[in-house]
Structure 1
Amino acid sequence: MALKCYWSVAVLAGVFCHVGVTTGHAAKDIMGPVSGLPMPRYVSLKSDHVNVRGGPTKDNDVSWVYTRVGLPVEITAEFENWRRVRDSEGSEGWVYHSLLSGKRTAVVTLKSKDDLAPLYDRADPASAVSAKLQAGVIASVKRCSAGWCRITGSGFDGWIEQQRLWGVYADEKID
């Protein structure tokens, strides 16, 4: 177990801590202090214009803007109506909660940007390949089990090895 402490930018918030396993898996026994939902957890962006701030208030400067609706992000902290999120590149910042959706999405990740990830008809590498996806493709996650996820997107629907996705935890089951 590891103790994680987060300094809040807001003076009144002070410091809040939680104890958890730092393996990257969602620890279901750690609940967000505001939402009561598990933390960390994956969500997606509701809009194609999401301001990311340096701290959990509108008084903080906008650090950057996400422009991809459906992009998966991981909530790592909560403060009032703000959520600290991390993206697939490891960048972190604060987003207003209403700009996030509980809809599960994932982004295809590959070792090399030139590689393609096979999408199969079934959760079996011996089944037919229905598509090949580039790194960075965003897909809706329909279900995950036994190391495979069924994903859909514009012009594709099939099964991919779970390890090729960012937006689902290793061995996470989604129904």
Structure 2
Amino acid sequence: MVAANAMRHKRRKAKDNENNASGGQDMNSTGQVRLASIVLGVALALAGSALALDRGPVTNLPLPRFVSLKTGEGNVRRGPSLTHRVDWIFTRRGMPLEVIGEYGHWRRVRDRDGMGGWVHYSLLSGSRSGLVEADLVPLHARADAGAPVNARLEAGVIVAIDRCTLDWCRVRVEGVKGWMVKQGLWGVRAQEVFD
């Protein structure tokens, strides 16, 4: 949207300048090609810089992204170093967290409630987990609402996520496996698909 607006502005400005220089006549084909080249160059530069912002400067992994807490306890600091004070402690192993920033060995994370801070990367795992958001969510044998129900999950239960389609995620918890509707799970994006 920003790039499109910038191109429209550039095009208008360039045409106005050409009209003024040629006594109000339209641009010739050489001027149009030159203008198109400039507009394309600006658009590509803007698109490239926008894509660069979607990657972490340290890991080159997507930002934001979901990870899980590797340990049963993890200090959440105000800044990215051991000298920064601990604001609170995450205490649930496997808890899904969203990485929203990187600095050296530190990752800026937030939980489902938006609370967060800086955590050392060694406390995080790339294994995917999710937090069940609604109460008594059915865990189906297949990715089908008509499939038999293996279990019902309470709100706040942490599940390991094995894979996700557009609408369903295959999860496991305490030896029980099954499929649940993705919409009731925090720790995965709506359009995210993975095996």
TM-score of the alignment, normalized to the shorter chain, above 0.5: yes
CA RMSD of aligned residues (A): 1.8
Partner of 1:63: 87
Superposition map of 1:34-45 within 5 A: 34-45=58-69
Partner of 1:134: 154
Q: Report the secondary structure of 1:163's partner residue.
A: helix
- Change over 3 Å in CA distance of 1:28–1:88 after alignment to 2: farther
Q: Could you tell me how far apart the structure 2 residues matched to 1:148 and 1:29 are?
A: 29
Letter in 2 for 1:38: P
Letter in 2 for 1:51: N
Identify which of 46, 49, 67 aligns with 2:73.
Answer: 49
Letter in 1 for 2:166: A
Identity across the alignment (%) = 48
Q: Which TM-score applies when normalising by structure 1? A: 0.81
Larger radius of gyration: 2
- Answering whether residue 182 of structure 2 is matched by residue 167 of structure 1, we say no
Letter in 2 for 1:163: Q
Moved over 6 A (4+): none
Identify which of 172, 181, 185 aligns with 1:152.
Answer: 172
Q: Which TM-score applies when normalising by structure 2? A: 0.72
Q: Could you tell me how far apart the structure 1 residues matched to 2:89 and 2:118 are?
A: 11
Kindly indicate which of the two structures has a greater share of residues assigned to strand: 1
CA shift, 1:104, in A, is 0.5
Q: Could you tell me how far apart the structure 2 residues matched to 1:122 and 1:63 are?
A: 42
CA shift, 1:146, in A, is 2.5
Partner of 2:120: 96
Partner of 1:77: 101
Superposition map of 1:12-23 within 5 A: none
Kindly indicate which of the two structures has a greater share of residues assigned to helix: 2
Higher relative contact order (CA 8 A, sep 6+): 1
Q: Report the secondary structure of 1:60's partner residue.
A: coil
Unpaired segments ≥5 residues, structure 2: 3-48
Unpaired segments ≥5 residues, structure 1: 3-18, 21-26
Partner of 2:132: 108
Q: Could you tell me how far apart the structure 1 residues matched to 2:142 and 2:53 are?
A: 33
CA shift, 1:67, in A, is 1.1
- Change over 3 Å in CA distance of 1:124–1:29 after alignment to 2: farther
Letter in 2 for 1:82: W
Q: Report the secondary structure of 2:183's partner residue.
A: helix
Contact in 1 for aligned 2:166/2:190 (Cα 8 Å): no
